[in-house]
Every structure is written in C-alpha cells, then in structure tokens.
Amino acid sequence: MSMQTPNGFNLDDSGRRVVVDPITRIEGHLRIEVNVDDDNVIRNAVSTGTMWRGLEVILKGRDPRDAWAFTQRICGVCTGTHALTSVRAVEDALNIQIPENANTIRNIMQLALQVHDHLVHFYHLHALDWVDVVSALSADPKATSELAQSISPWAKSSPGYYRDLQTRLKKFVESGQLGLFRNGYWGHPAYKLPAEANLMATAHYLEALDFQKEIKKIHTVFGGKNPHPNWLVGGVPCPINVSDTGAVGAINIERLALVKQIIDQSILFAEQVYLPDLVAIASFYKDWTYGGGLSSTNVLSYGDIPEHANDYSASNLLLPRGAIIGGNLNEVHEVDQRDAEEIQEFVAHSWYRYDDESVGLHPWDGVTEPNYELGPNHKGTKTHIEALDESAKYSWIKSPRWRGHAMEVGPLSRYIIGYAQGNPEFKEPVDKLLTDLNLPVTALFSTLGRTAARGLECVWAAHKMSYFYDKLIANIRAGDLATANTERWDPSSWPTDVKGVGFTEAPRGALGHWVHIKDTKIENYQCVVPTTWNAGPRDLEGNIGAYEASLMDTPMADPEQPLEILRTIHSFDPCLACSTHVMSPDGEEVADVSVR
C-alpha cells in the first residue's frame, strides 16, 4: 500500500520487509523494520523502542534532591547530562539561584562530556560504519604515513608507527580469543575507503580510546569521583581552595592546572585528529547523500551552556536555541518548555494509554500507563514479533511533537539553527568544511552532515571549555570562591506544591526533565530524552519520526547486511537503556537480521 505522510514522505510497504533487531538479553531495545522495493531501496521505515523504561515509576515519592543520582543511572553514557538536567529542574522548581562559579564549572563538565561523547561515538561506534578494519591489515604503512601527513600535522604519523600498529592489529585478530570486531560487515560493498585510510582511521580508533581517559579526569576533578561524579542541587559539590592545604576533594591550583592541560590536549586531538579524519573519510563518501530525513525541514534545539548563571534565555545560551519548521531557515521560532501548547507527547502509536489519545500531553501533565497491544496485521506473537503493524501501536517510545511537528534533535539540528541565525561560531566552520569538500550547503542534510556536525561541535566544545576555564580562573582571582547556594537545602524552606523544568543539550540532542514537587516529595517526574524525539514512532496524523524519515529512499546493497541502516541510525548516536551488559560466556550475536 502506498501513501503520503503529512510531513512529506511517500511510504510504500508492498516490498520485502527487512527487520534489524539487536539481540540483547532483554530482547533488544531499538528495532528497525523497513520495506524495500525490487531495487532494494527503502520505501517504508518503522522505528520501535522495544523496552519500557519510565523514570516516573522509580522516582515517585522520593526526595527531589536525590533525583539526579537516579537519573544518572538511566544510562551509563549520558550520566552527567541527565544529572545536570535534573538539578536544573529541581532548582527551577524551588527557585534556587546558583553561584557564577557553579555555572562555569557545570559548563566545563557538560562541554567535557560533549567532547568525550562525540569522540567515543565517532571512533568506537560510528567510524566502523565507514572504515573497514579488515582492509586496514593490507594497507601499505608508508603510503598511510604519507596520507596522514598530507592532512594533519599530528605527530604520530611515521611509517614505523603505522607498521607497528598494523603488526599489533594482525596479532590481535589472529589471536582468536579476542576475535576483534567480530560481527562487523567487513568487505561490504558500501565500504569505499582505500586500505591506507582504513589503517589511519583504525590507528586513531586506538588513540582515541587511549585519549578519552584523560577527558574524564575533568569530571573527577569537579565531581569528586569518577565514574559517577557527584552533583548538587544549588551548585557544585566541590569547594574551591586555592591554597594547597584545602579539604579533601577541594579544587586547588594543582587540580586546575591538570584541567587546563587536558583542555589543551582535547583541542589538539579534536583539531588534528578527529576533524581531519572526518574530512578524509567524507571525501570518499560524497556520493552517499542519504539519511537527511527531517533535518532539511524540522529541527529543534533547547540551547545550552549559559554564559551567566541562572539565565536560560536564548540570548544567554552559547549553544543555539530555537525551532525551524518546513525548512524555512529564515525564521527560527522561539521555544518555551513551559508552554503547554508547544512540547507534547502523543501515544497513538505507542504502547501507552491516555484517556483521550487524539491529544498530546505536556510533560508536566505526563501519564505513563502501559498498554501493550499489537495491530491486526502484525506477524508472529506478542512475545515473538516477526513483523510489526505500524498502523497500530508499535513502540515503547512516545511521539513527542513541537507544536504538532515531528522534529529532529542533535548536533546537526544545533548547527542548522546556529547557521540559520547567522552565528559565525557555527556558520563559518560549516562553510569551511563544505568548501573543503566542494559540497553545497544542502549536503548538510544527510547522514554525513549529522556526522560532520558532531565533529565540528567537538572542536567547538573543546574551545569553549578553554573559555570557561579562563573565566573560572578570573573569577577566583577576583576573590569569588562560592560554588554552592545551600539556602534552600532544607525541605522545610520549600513551597508545598511547585513545578520545574530543566534542560540541556545532551551530546545527542535536546534533553528535558519536568518535575512536580508536592509536600517535599516528587509527585511526577518526566524525562523527554533526545532519542525519544529522534526514535519516536508516527503520530495520529501519520507524520513519521526522525529515524524513520532518515531511512527513506536509501538504497541497500544487500538487505541481508543492512550496513546502510546502521550507518544512518548510528549517525544519531542512539541512546537506549543500558541494562543489557549482562555477560554470557560466548560472544553472542549482537544484531539479528531477517528478510521476509
């Protein structure tokens, strides 16, 4: 059957159905189903979250000052950004003003998280969609060295370095026990890099793995410990003591010098390794223009990184805030998370129940009542679905909408909005990248555009860390050592019934926490996470979500090896619940693909 969606996509589900479902202990978390036509081009796409997690379920009745610690456990990778969003939501509800230093330190921590997450995402998840590790084994180390030196002044680039690394890789692959990068689609026809570029990128995979441990130390310094740094409603939990004999955990000159050193290293790595790799890889995939989805029409960013404390308005946020609708870059709409008419979650195609499912609910009024039922045209059983029926409910993810529109969030959305606003910090690097690659601005609206924006943002964030570091030092020199406001720490000082909202730009997009505090306890807590925006299902009108839109019209070389699907979904940096790390003794197959 063929139909057009209100947001402009032609769906046709008559062709073969391809199902990609990562098999994990809890039955996978994100599943993608597509229909391909006779030429293996994707003509229908269905994104489904296969696991339910509702934070409201575990936070209800708890102390709002503890909420950050719980939200930090939603996900092992986004810990800090959830914690920050949570303390902001509670501070908003209780009208707590944080000191300037606390804002600066939080910015440094959030930016460190951006740099860290982007780097690890690119090298350790996404790069392998473009880089064929097995091919790297046949590269010529000397030619690899020449290639590396032609694109970057990065020091580790001698023929000997690449030769040693290649030897190490070979040993590792041959050792059998480790079975490196098992289950990859190595040799897939969609891989286009020459062997030398593959070896260079694989080397940087290892260097990034080694370097990322440094970035985390910033969280240790300011958060007191790592993993799971501490956060605090009212500020940051680290006192500043510039004389060396301060309390344990205090920030002193030595700790600050370490932070400075790591920031400088981060800038160097982002500029001399990450960005050149990105350009080099992209130059071989210029004709792979797929995956744009909603990015050319509807993008949303809440904005983040407040220049000054306690002001979350657009003009005070260094990461862009706004919404673009219908591809009209001439108009960036204002966004208000408190407005009941703006952000709403719908459940027409989600496994939840509302009294009236024709309307959406603002998160403050959010309801999370499960209702697991399958549509009449599904295949399989309730406990073993072979194919979903997307005309009915088909996902544990709700459909958030901004003024009724499906939106894409993430680094690309932030860059498009910054570009549309004419902000040189975002426009100039984009223009330079496009010029270097000899591509038009429309090339941005693609899987590679998403990947490129993340790389550009990594560089931006590294520099901004440096900016806020200098700001912190200047403030300390001026004698301001305050890091926390504890005036309203005692619940007896709180109003009996209040609501608050906190937001950040998580590495993978707009993140909001809405909290309702009643009689000093949490009455309702709703998180709308970036992956809800991007991975959410259709809405009542039939508008498809960002993941679904991004897969449309993509040709697949071999539906049995859905590298193209992984490539595009990975470009969003999906975040799904992290409860599935339970080990099994043999390396289980991670993704299952079936073609019907």
Partner 1 sequence: MSAPTQALALGVGNLLWADEGFGVRCVEALAAEYEAPENLTIADGGTQGLYLVDLLREHDPVVIFDAVDFGDAPGTLRVVENDDIPAFVAGKKMSLHQAGLQDVIACAKLLGDCAQNMLLVGVQPVELEDYGGSLRPAVRDRIPDALAVAVEYFESQGLMLRKRSTPVASSVITPGLDLERYEAHRPDAQQACRIGDARVLNRTART
506 in contact with partner 1 (CB under 8 A): no
Q: Rounded CA gap, 551 and 538, in Å?
A: 14
Residue 108, by phi and psi: left (phi above 0), alpha (psi -120 to 50) or beta? Answer: alpha
Q: Rounded CA gap, 79 and 71, in Å?
A: 7
State the nearest-atom distance from the C-beta of 425 to partner 1, in Å: 27
Q: Rounded CA gap, 19 and 16, in Å?
A: 10
Which parts of 225-244 interact with partner 1 (CB under 8 A)?
Answer: 227-228, 230
Which parts of 99-138 interact with partner 1 (CB under 8 A)?
Answer: 116, 120-121, 124-125, 128
Which parts of 301-360 interact with partner 1 (CB under 8 A)?
Answer: 351
- Looking at beta carbons only, is 185 or 426 nearer to partner 1? 185
Which parts of 190-219 interact with partner 1 (CB under 8 A)?
Answer: 206, 209-210, 212-213, 216
Total interface residues for partner 1 by CB under 8 A: 88
- Looking at beta carbons only, is 51 or 476 nearer to partner 1? 51
Q: Is 78 helix (H, G, I), strand (E, B) or coil?
A: coil
**Beta-carbon count within 10 A of 180 CB:** 13
- Looking at beta carbons only, is 28 or 418 nearer to partner 1? 28
Q: Are 370 and 352 in contact (CB under 8 A)?
A: yes
Which residues are bridge partners to 36 per DSSP?
Answer: 16, 42
Which parts of 44-73 interact with partner 1 (CB under 8 A)?
Answer: 50-54, 56-58, 60-63, 65-66, 69-70, 72-73
Eight-state DSSP code of residue 561:
S
Q: Is the dihedral of CA 197, 198, 199, 202 positive or negative?
A: positive
State the nearest-atom distance from the C-beta of 468 to partner 1, in Å: 22
Which parts of 521-580 interact with partner 1 (CB under 8 A)?
Answer: 566, 569-570, 573-580
Which parts of 387-446 interact with partner 1 (CB under 8 A)?
Answer: 396
Q: Is 427 helix (H, G, I), strand (E, B) or coil?
A: helix
Q: Are 20 and 585 in contact (CB under 8 A)?
A: no
Q: Are 536 and 575 in contact (CB under 8 A)?
A: no
Phi and psi at 332, nearest 5°, equal: -105, 115
- Looking at beta carbons only, is 127 or 332 nearer to partner 1? 127
Residue 380, by phi and psi: left (phi above 0), alpha (psi -120 to 50) or beta? Answer: left
State the nearest-atom distance from the C-beta of 22 to partner 1, in Å: 4
- Looking at beta carbons only, is 168 or 338 nearer to partner 1? 168
Stretch that binds partner 1, among 21-29, 88-96, 324-332, 552-560 (CB under 8 A): 21-29
Residue 228, by phi and psi: left (phi above 0), alpha (psi -120 to 50) or beta? Answer: left
- Looking at beta carbons only, is 181 or 467 nearer to partner 1? 181
State the nearest-atom distance from the C-beta of 543 to partner 1, in Å: 23
Q: Which class for 325: exposed (0-12), middle (13-18), buried (19 or more C-beta within 10 A)? A: middle
Which parts of 365-394 interact with partner 1 (CB under 8 A)?
Answer: 368-370, 372, 382-385
Stretch that binds partner 1, among 25-33, 305-313, 450-458, 473-481 (CB under 8 A): 25-33
State the nearest-atom distance from the C-beta of 109 to partner 1, in Å: 15
Which parts of 152-181 interact with partner 1 (CB under 8 A)?
Answer: 168, 172, 177-181
- Looking at beta carbons only, is 69 or 540 nearer to partner 1? 69
Angle, nearest 10°, between helix axes 195-223 and 275-283?
A: 150
* Choice from 184, 194, 249, 555 touching partner 1 (CB under 8 A): 184
